[in-house]
Chains A and B, each alone.
Chain A
Amino acid sequence: MPVKPMAIETTDSSVKSRFDSVVEVLATANEPKTGDELAGIAAESDAKRVAAKRVLAGMRLETLRENPVVPYEEDEVTRVIQDGVREPIYDELKDWTVADLREFLVDSATGEREIAAIRPGLTSEMIAAVTKLMSNLDLVLATSKMEVTARCNTTVGESGTLSFRLQPNDPADDVENMVSAIREGLAYGVGDAVIGVNPVADSVETTTRILEATHEFIDDWDVPTQNCCLAHVTTQMDAMRQGAPADLVFQSLAGTEAGNDEFGVDVDLLDEAYDLARRRCTSSGPNVMYFETGQGAELSGDAHHGVDQLTLEARCYGLAKQYDPFLVNTVVGFIGPEYLYDGQQVIRAGLEDVFMGQLHGLSMGIDACYTNHIQADQNDIENLAVLLAAAGTNYFITVPMGDDVMLNYQSNSYHDAGALWELFDLEPAPAFRDWLAEMGLWHNGRLTDRAGDPTIFA
């Protein structure tokens, strides 16, 4: 890929702003985020922000393809994204402007079929660019058109369904407490996306213990779902090599090679993990990988190359796509106010991330969350959950009463599942829904009165 330095002038004569590079246009066009301010690349005024959006609107997709935000020679994430483009489809799109792409996505005549037809020709930078032109309602509308399904033991993402990850973390890695939290969650009907545990101790021993306990519970009660232990990928691989039962393999991703280096992973290692997962996972697949991402992780590791956090987030999805994952979710609002300041920024980033993930063709969900040091509260993430349920996200993370006592942050509550299904007339994944019905927890498209009572799993 040739990398041409470029200078761009806005076509709008009333705006005299000038930008030096595509990277700068992308950063300046971003909706306000403290992370971009911290990096010193945010628009210094709203006028400048809009000027950049105008330049971006008129930019051809070809310009974005030819100016990846981190050079091809320097970064393996760029190489994965660029080499994954299907050239004939790209050739048909390259003369579109970013504005054309936005208007195509929101057009009433455009549905999943039409979007699927252009997906292989898009790069992460193009997807990031169009996101910057879209309003919140644009994002919800466009996301709602996309239907990306994925299959492990259950299928997520089918229209009319909304799935949930059950996250039973414990600050002492006490497996008995985890199982109690699993019982309670299943009684509320959550857990069809995955029963996924973050371990405190990143060891093969703990990982194995958690995988075995969750696997055994799933087996005993014949629950149509999958387990996962979110230790570092190398720990999971070692555990699996020694026979630990994992249905999915997990890893956090960053949008640059340097960012992944901070996380202790690279493309070779991910390839190795994917290969191992396909041969050793206890699930029926075909989709056996699980990734988490979130705006700000690259800057936190000083691995952002002067690129804005939304564009870097898009690149995480470009990398994830390589591994046909069953689940990908942003953990929006997880790190702190230095990247997303308040509820407004968290909601915006959540809508952006799910849209970008789905436009990449990923089975995308969200951990809609906040920490106690940002300016947000439970109301903000309940708002976000309503917006994203309307947008048709594949799944949400849920924890008991919204409080994760190990990771020290708040996410959606087990309770939110029932409310969202009721509000939007949605159901869990079909096999899981049938199982809930057998357990007396689901009837006539609703949770029954028995729901919420964990003693049925005694």
Chain B
Amino acid sequence: MTPDSNANATDPTDDRTDAETLRRVADRTPTRLDVGRAGPRPPTDALLEFREDHGLARDAVFSRVDDSLVDDLDLVTLRTRVADADQYLARPDLGRELAEESITRLHEECSETPGVQIVVSDGLSSTAVETSVPELLPVLKDGLAERDIDVGTPVFVEFGRVDVMDVIGEELAADCCVILIGERPGLRTAESLSAYFVYGPERGGPTAEKSVVSNIHDSGLPPVEAGAELVDLLANVLEQEASGIDLREDDREFETES
């Protein structure tokens, strides 16, 4: 029996129109829709496609950002205290700290007290960095420059976690710090990038005082648009001198309760 046999359907539908509608619906979304079923279970094809995508997503976690990309983007390379990919997964605490030499390098090669310190990091997906950062970064840098905001010397951090931006921002005494970092890869795409940012970065600063724009990729927020949006958001952070929940509270229009 197939789902189309419609034994209990009340009104007979035009199967062809339905099929077209369904295809249109499924085509405009990255979500796995219109998969059909075999009894209560997914059809064999859909099941195998899912398993195949799982394999691909797992591989994405262990790939590295190409050195030439970092050079092309003119980023100063830093390292966290993480030694390798396995340790990266097991020890998020080490991914939040810079290696000793990298702290020295940071002070040697980067200008201090920028308005917005830009950090790029592989995080959980180097693919995300490779696909989105080349498009996003110039839009971000130019946009901030146009508003006379000093972007200092952008850096690349290998094996980084979000909070490594606190260390970098504090060391350089940046007003604000933004990190473009690979999200954990999904089944549909390993290209999803996030931009986390914080006003007045300092070691151990609470997550609640940070903000994030996530799902930066072609089926989410396209990288170029994300760059433009970030320019506005970061300019606002500098103006309000706040990020995260603090920013929200300033923005909140409290209607007094009746």
Contact = CB atoms under 8 A, between A and B. Distances in A.
A377 interface: yes
Interface stretch (B23-31, B67-75, B107-115, B167-175): B23-31
Contact of B40 (A235, A409, A447): A447
Interface in A410-425: 410, 413, 415, 417-419, 421-422
Given A373-B89, A403-B31, A264 B186 contact: no
A378 B31 CA distance: 17
A401 B186 CA distance: 13
A340 to B, nearest CB: 12
Contacts of A177: 28-29, 31
A371 B61 CA distance: 11
A338 B89 contact: yes
A377 B53 CA distance: 12
Nearest to B186: A408
B23 to A, nearest CB: 12
Contact of A450 (B9, B28, B53, B183): B9
A403 B215 contact: no
A449 B5 contact: yes
Contacts of B244: 264
Interface in A151-176: 168, 170-172, 174, 176
Contacts of B253: 238
Main SS class of interface, B: loop
B21 A458 contact: yes
Interface string B44-63: 00100011011001101100
A180 B3 contact: no
B193 to A, nearest CB: 11
Contacts of A181: 29, 31, 33
Looking at B60, B91, B186, B214, the one whose CB has the most chain A CB atoms below 10 A away is B186
B143 interface: no
A146 to B, nearest CB: 27
Contacts of B189: 405
Nearest to B40: A418
A447 B3 CA distance: 11
A86 interface: no
B6 A337 contact: no
B89 A443 contact: no
A373 B32 contact: no
A34 interface: yes
Contact of A453 (B3, B53, B93, B215): B3
Contacts of A448: 7-8
B35 A338 contact: no
B206 interface: yes
B37 A403 contact: no
A358 interface: no
Contacts of B46: 401
**Tier of interface size on chain A:** 35 or more
B34 interface: yes
A439 to B, nearest CB: 9
A378 B53 CA distance: 12
A301 B184 contact: no
Interface stretch (B132-140, B149-157, B217-225): B217-225
A170 B32 CA distance: 11
**Tier of interface size on chain B:** 35 or more
B83 interface: no
A169 to B, nearest CB: 8
A306 interface: no
A232 B248 CA distance: 10
Given A38-B91, A415-B42, A418-B40, A372 B58 contact: yes
A407 B215 CA distance: 9
Contact of B183 (A261, A403, A408, A453): A408
Contacts of A188: 37
Contacts of B57: 372
A292 interface: no
B3 A452 contact: yes
A400 interface: yes
A263 B58 CA distance: 29
A211 interface: no
Given A177-B31, A449-B1, A449-B6, A300 B217 contact: no
B22 interface: yes
A404 B186 contact: yes
B253 to A, nearest CB: 8
A171 B204 contact: no
Contact of A264 (B61, B245, B252): B245
Contacts of B13: 455
A13 interface: no
B187 A172 contact: no
Interface in A203-259: 232, 234-235, 238, 241-242
A409 B30 CA distance: 14
Nearest to A37: B90
A427 B33 CA distance: 24
B236 interface: no
A58 interface: no
Contacts of A234: 245, 248-249, 252
Contacts of B219: 171-172, 405
B207 to A, nearest CB: 5
A415 B41 contact: yes
Looking at B184, B219, B255, the one whose CB has the most chain A CB atoms below 10 A away is B184
A176 B25 CA distance: 9
Contacts of B184: 336, 371-373, 408-409
A120 to B, nearest CB: 32
Contacts of A410: 54, 187
12 contacts: A38-B91, A177-B31, A181-B29, A261-B206, A264-B245, A338-B89, A372-B186, A373-B61, A405-B188, A406-B220, A409-B186, A443-B8
Per CB-CB distance, the 10 closest pairs between chain A and chain B, nearest first, are A418-B40, A408-B186, A264-B208, A171-B220, A401-B32, A448-B8, A372-B57, A177-B29, A264-B245, A419-B40
Interface of A: 34, 38, 168, 170-172, 174, 176-177, 180-181, 184, 188, 200-201, 232, 234-235, 238, 241-242, 261-264, 300-302, 336-338, 371-373, 377-378, 400-410, 413, 415, 417-419, 421-422, 440, 443, 447-455, 458
Given A373-B58, A400-B31, A452-B36, 9 more contacts: A177-B31, A242-B255, A378-B50, A400-B32, A405-B189, A410-B187, A415-B42, A440-B10, A443-B8
